[in-house]
Amino acid sequence: MPHDPIRSILTHFRFRGEFVSFRELNSGNIHRTFYLLFRDGAREYGYTLQRFNTYVFPDPLGVMRNISHVTQHLKKNILLHEKRADRQVLELVQTVSGEVMHTDEAGGVWRAYEYITDAVALDRVDSLEQMEEVGRAFGRFQRYLADFPAESLFESIPDFHHTAKRFDAFLRAKEEDRAGRAGQVREEIGFFLERRDVMGEIVRLLEKKELPLRVTHNDTKSNNVLLDVKTGKALCVIDLDTVMPGSSLYDYGDGVRFAASTAREDEEDVSLISLDMQKAGAFTRGFVSETAGILSEGELLRLPLGIKVMTCELAMRFLTDYLNGDLYFKISSPEHNLIRARAQIALLKDVERKEEALSDMAARDAARYA
């Protein structure tokens, strides 16, 4: 890197030991993330440093307050039920002035966490055991936050999973056609126009109180779970930026969408993309066993709707960003957002084909866990 972007930031946080090295981690579609190594004699200390994407999160302090409250609550409940909480919850590193974040001269906003050692985040989940652990991690997250006052949370991205409003944003992007790309994606546009109704379903059920409002993670990709490299067990849920009030269907649905897909989110060969039912089943086992006694029968029966709506929503978000000229998601090629949208469309088509099997699975779980 020609200009070292982080050295001047280091002195603002309460890191232990002497700085040794850093490297940028290319994970996530939103923030810039760095791994830092410090040393004090023979002891090594690792940290994760992140520079906020303030286009996506215009109020970082609100986000950080949420994270601070939620991690404290998680820690309290983990200690209560599991005696030890180390490596099981994110720990913020304070700034030297005792704040949760640092703003540099250029207005860049930074935060740091203790690095969790001997853990792995999976971009791709290969085994059913791992799938179950990932489902378990998000189920446990839901369980330990079931007694957290959802209404006290700041809405870090207003209407984040309000799929009906996302649809309106998509229509606007199509009308404005800022990047002059609408003509080239007529088929994809038509795909979403045909699915307008289903996309509003979870929002309608929440409004009618047929689904309860819960504290949800809202970005439940498998790489937002850390697994212990030695035992393979789920340790910790990370990336808490979008923790907000929401529906359990969001967390379940997005988790299955990502981890049970047979291909990457940006796979170009759509013939490779389908929903692996065994993996979906394993994720579900982990998720519903951890939330036993918490999720209602109505939620359990409707879990498959979560997969459908979350897949459709993300597909539409990618296409919307493509139409807007790639303002939101980090891209690595001009067509990246279109490729992503097409991949999610292919996945959704397969989810729709497997709807009956997914409903049968949900009915069995509802009978067992409600």
> Is 290 one of the binding residues for Mg ion (CB under 5 A)?
no
Binding range to Mg ion, per CB under 5 A, among 46-54, 132-140, 152-160, 215-223: 215-223
Q: How far is the CB of 159 from ligand GN1 (least distance, A)?
A: 12
CB-neighbour burial class of residue 67 (10 A; exposed 0-12, middle 13-18, buried 19+): buried
Select 132 or 265, whichever has its Cβ closest to ligand GN1: 265
> Is 29 one of the binding residues for ligand GN1 (CB under 6 A)?
yes
The C-alpha atoms of residue 347 and residue 152 are separated, in whole angstroms, by 35
> Is 299 one of the binding residues for Mg ion (CB under 5 A)?
no
Select 95 or 247, whichever has its Cβ closest to ligand GN1: 247
Contact in structure between 286 and 132 (CB atoms under 8 Å): yes
Of 132, 133, 228, 239, the residue at the interface with Mg ion (CB under 5 A) is 239
Contact in structure between 265 and 340 (CB atoms under 8 Å): yes
Select 59 or 129, whichever has its Cβ closest to ligand GN1: 59
Contacts (Cβ under 8 Å, ≥6 apart) of 116: 87, 90, 226, 235, 236, 238
Q: How far is CA 219 from the centre of its chain?
A: 2
**Interior/surface letters 158-195, b for 16+ CB within 10 angstroms, e for the rest:** eebbbbbebbebbeebbeeeeeebbeebeebbebbeeb
Select 95 or 324, whichever has its Cβ closest to ligand GN1: 324
Partner in contact with 359, chosen from ligand GN1, Mg ion, none, beta carbon below 5 to 8 Å by kind: none
The C-alpha atoms of residue 88 and residue 327 are separated, in whole angstroms, by 34
The C-alpha atoms of residue 14 and residue 32 are separated, in whole angstroms, by 20
The C-alpha atoms of residue 293 and residue 370 are separated, in whole angstroms, by 6
> Is 239 one of the binding residues for ligand GN1 (CB under 6 A)?
yes
Q: How many residues bind ligand GN1 (CB under 6 A)?
A: 10
Select 52 or 191, whichever has its Cβ closest to Mg ion: 52
287-316 residues in contact with ligand GN1 (CB under 6 A) are: 314
Partner in contact with 132, chosen from ligand GN1, Mg ion, none, beta carbon below 5 to 8 Å by kind: none
127-166 residues in contact with ligand GN1 (CB under 6 A) are: none
> Is 267 one of the binding residues for ligand GN1 (CB under 6 A)?
no
Select 191 or 258, whichever has its Cβ closest to Mg ion: 258
| Secondary structure of residue 306 in the 3-state scheme | helix
Residues near ligand GN1 (CB under 6 A): 28-30, 56, 219, 239, 241-242, 265, 314
